[in-house]
Amino acid sequence: MLGSYQNFLWLILLGIGVVLITRLLLIKGIQLTSDAWQMPRKVQGQVLGYATSMPELVGTVSTAAKGLLGAGLWNVAASNIINLILFVSAALYFGRSRSLAKRKFADEIGFALGAILLPIILITREHWAKSIWAAILLFGFFVVYLILDKKLNPPDPDEEEKSESKDSSKGLKGVVLILLGILGIIVAGNYLGGVAESIVKQMNVPEWAIGWILGVITSLPELTSFYAVFSLAKEQESDESCQQNLDNLAASNMSNVGLIYPIGIIVFLLVT
C-alpha cells in the first residue's frame, strides 16, 4: 500500500516537473524567439497556446501507451475546462471582461467552447472515443479552426512592417531552450505513463481520476501565461492582451482536442 501512495506522489511530482520544464525552458525559449523575430501578438498567443499544451501531450500519449486512453481523454476534457475557467478569472481580475464581448473575438471563444463540448461527448460514447474515425474527425475540426482563423483574423499589416530588425543572439538562446525543454518533456513523459499505469492497477483508481489530476497539473502553464500577459498590459487600453490570451486559449484547447487526443488514439490502437 505504501508503494501505491508513493506512485501517487510520483505522478504529481512528474506532472509538476513537466509543467516546470514547459514554463522555464519551452515557453521561455518561445518568448525569446518571438521577441527576437518580433512576431505579431496574435502569432505569439497561438504559439504559446501550442507550447502550453505540451504537458497535455505528455500526459495523454504516455497514458495511452499503457492502454489508459480514458485517462488521456479526461486529461484533455479537464484541461480545456480548467483553461477556460483560468482565462475568465484572469480577464475578470484585470478588468478585461468587457472587451471579450466584441464581435472580433467570437471565433476564438467559439472554438475554445467547442473544444470542451467534443471531449465531453466522447466521454459518453466510449466506442467512439477509441475509434480511428474519431481521430480523423477531430483532426479535421482542428484544420477547420486553422483555416477559419486565418481568414477571419488576418495578420495586422502594421505589425508585420515592424518585424524587420531581429536579434539573432536572443533567437539562438531561445532555440536552445526550446530544444532542452522538448528533451526534458520526453524524458519525464516516459516515466509518467508507467506511474499512472501502476496507480490504476495497484489502487484501482479510475482513469477519470487520473485524467483530472493530470488536467489540473497540466493547466498550470496556461495559468501563468494568462496572468502574465494581462499583467504586462494592464496599463494599456488596447485589446492586444485580450487577443493574445484568447489565441492562447483557443490554440491550447484546439490542439488538445484536435491534435493531442487523436495522437493518443493512434498510440492506443497501436499498443492494443
Helices marked H in the chain — which ranges?
2-21, 28-37, 41-51, 54-64, 69-93, 106-123, 126-129, 132-152, 157-161, 168-203, 207-218, 220-232, 240-255, 261-271
**Structure-model confidence comparison of residues 59 and 112, the more confident one:** 112
pTM for the whole thing? 0.81
**Confidence class for position 158, pLDDT limits 50, 70, 90:** low
**Structure-model confidence comparison of residues 145 and 21, the more confident one:** 145
pLDDT at 170 over 80: no
Amino acid identity, position 155: P
Lowest-confidence segment of 87-91, 111-115, 157-161, 223-227 by average pLDDT:
157-161
Question: What pLDDT sits at residue 156?
Answer: 60
65 and 198 in contact (C-beta within 8 Å)? no
**Structure-model confidence comparison of residues 230 and 142, the more confident one:** 142
Question: What pLDDT sits at residue 135?
Answer: 96
259 and 46 in contact (C-beta within 8 Å)? no
Span 173-212, pLDDT tens digits: 888 888 888 788 777 777 777 787 777 777 788 889 888 9
The pLDDT mean for the chain works out to 83
The three-point CA angle 255-258-260 to 5° equals 65
Query: Average pLDDT in the 68-90 region?
Result: 93
The three-point CA angle 8-213-209 to 5° equals 85
- As for how many domains the chain has, the answer is 1
Q: What is the C-alpha separation between 260 and 248, in angstroms, rounded?
A: 16
Question: What pLDDT sits at residue 120?
Answer: 95
255 and 53 in contact (C-beta within 8 Å)? yes
* Residues spanned by the domain of 35: 2-271
**Structure-model confidence comparison of residues 117 and 35, the more confident one:** 117
**Confidence class for position 167, pLDDT limits 50, 70, 90:** low
Query: Average pLDDT in the 39-67 region?
Result: 81
Query: Average pLDDT in the 237-258 region?
Result: 86
What lies within 8 Å, CB to CB, of 152 at 6+ separation is 107
